[in-house]
Amino acid sequence: MDRLKDKVAIVFGAGPNIGGTIAHFLAREGARVCVSDVREEAARETAEFIRQRGWEAMSLAGDARNDDDVKRIVWQTVEKYGRLDIAVNMAGRVHWADVLGMQLDDWNDSVGSFATAGLLTTQHCARAMLACGARGSIIHLLSTAAHFGEADGAAYCAAKAALLNFARSAAMDLAHTGIRVNTVTPCSMEHQLWTTMRDEMFDPGWVKPERSGFYSRQEYLDQLPLRRFPRAADMAWATVFLASDESSCMTGADLPVDAGLRHKYPTWTPGKHDPIDIRDYAKATRVTRYGEEQEYLTDLLGDPT
């Protein structure tokens, strides 16, 4: 506790999974937090969750890809709390398509969105940090897509790779000011079992998509050396570390929070040597909201068997 006492943070991205969990953990460590999201309701619910637990939070709606919105969010945060020390950005749009079928509008929307949100959040937050004399920390959330090529993922991979190298460049530009810029890279997250991948897990009538880039949750789990998916709390703890003075000599760095996926030998499949059936994994998994464990996944969605 109190690792972030007297610090002020903005989290661009809300909801009960990654963004809201990060905001919760920052507040729990003593930061006063502005939660921002393009969806006003999501930002408001996250801020209310934090306040109900006795910590300080406010909510603001806005699009992190819009210059005026980001400028307003930063200005209103500083107006309320008097300073800015921490910024966390996870904003962007995702489009999946094979290279031959990729539409230019979708390409521009995806590739431009992550890099643009990265630029605007870094630019306006760094200016606010300089104005109040803070040696701040700016953190961008990536994906394994930033480091690999993925079938059907050309736009997303290009977008996240752009954000990765933008963050590295920004770290060098801001180093002389004492402002640090780092990134966190997760792989596929556990909460996707009950959000975007719930049909695959629990719908008896689910049919495997006929596209070359598809991989199942079982296939993904088989590649993870630690034999589990990362949770939102894992992302939040990494972010707390990068936001705190404990990482004061780190900038331009990327923290992989991926159960060892990035650093394993490509042809080694951990699941062959330590098999875990995805249905058994699901039965033992608890739903989390804002990093707090709730009901078992099977209580929420039924038994996958």
The pLDDT of residue 103 is above 90: yes
How confident is the model over 20-44, as a mean pLDDT? 98
More confident residue, 251 or 200: 251
Q: What is the pLDDT of residue 302?
A: 82
CA distances from 103 to 97, 107, 108, 146, 166 (A): 8, 6, 9, 21, 24
Q: What is the pLDDT of residue 212?
A: 86
pLDDT in tens, 125-175: 999 999 999 999 999 999 999 999 999 999 999 999 999 999 999 999 999
The pLDDT of residue 1 is above 80: no
Classify each residue of 60-96 as buried b or exposed e, where b means 16 or more C-beta atoms within 10 Å of its C-beta: bbbbbbbeebbbbbbebbbeebebbbbbbbbbbbbbb
Q: What is the pLDDT of residue 20?
A: 97
What residues does 37 pair with on adjacent strands?
Answer: 61
Cα–Cα distance for residue pair 225/159, rounded to 1 Å: 27
pLDDT interval class at 278 (50, 70, 90): very high
Cα–Cα distance for residue pair 16/23, rounded to 1 Å: 10
Q: Can you state the percent helix, strand and coil of the chain, rounding each to 5?
A: 50, 15, 35
pLDDT in tens, 204-252: 888 888 888 899 999 999 999 999 999 999 999 999 999 999 999 999 9
Cα–Cα distance for residue pair 183/206, rounded to 1 Å: 35
Across the chain, mean pLDDT equals: 96
- CA proximity to 20, closest of 90, 84, 123: 90
pLDDT in tens, 280-302: 999 999 999 999 999 999 998 88
Q: What is the pLDDT of residue 22?
A: 98
